[in-house]
Copies of this chain bind each other. A is one copy, B any other.
Amino acid sequence: MEYVMRPIGVIHSPFTDKKQTPIQPTRSQAVGQVVVYPEFAEGLQDIEGFSHIILLYAFHQSEGYSLRVKPFLDDQLRGLFATRHPCRPNPIGISIVRLLARRGHVLEVEGVDMLDGTPLLDIKPYVPDFDVKQDTRVGWYETRSKE
Measured CB to CB, the residues of A under 8 A from B are 1-8, 24-26, 36, 40, 42-54, 56, 58, 67-68, 78-84, 88-92, 94, 96, 98, 119, 121-133, 135-142, 145
Query: When the two chains form their complex, are residues A47 and B136 in contact, meaning their CB atoms are under 8 A apart?
Result: no
Report B-chain residues with C-beta under 8 Å of the C-beta of A8.
Answer: 89-90
Task: State the oligomeric state as a number of copies.
Answer: 2
Classify the secondary structure of A's interface with B.
mixed
Given contacts A4-B3, A141-B125, contact A132 B132 (CB under 8 A): yes
Cβ-defined contact, B123 with A81, below 8 A: yes
Q: Please give 10 more A-B residue pairs, beta carbons under 8 A apart, in addition to A46-B78, A92-B122.
A: A3-B121, A40-B81, A42-B67, A46-B79, A50-B136, A51-B138, A54-B94, A81-B125, A92-B92, A98-B133
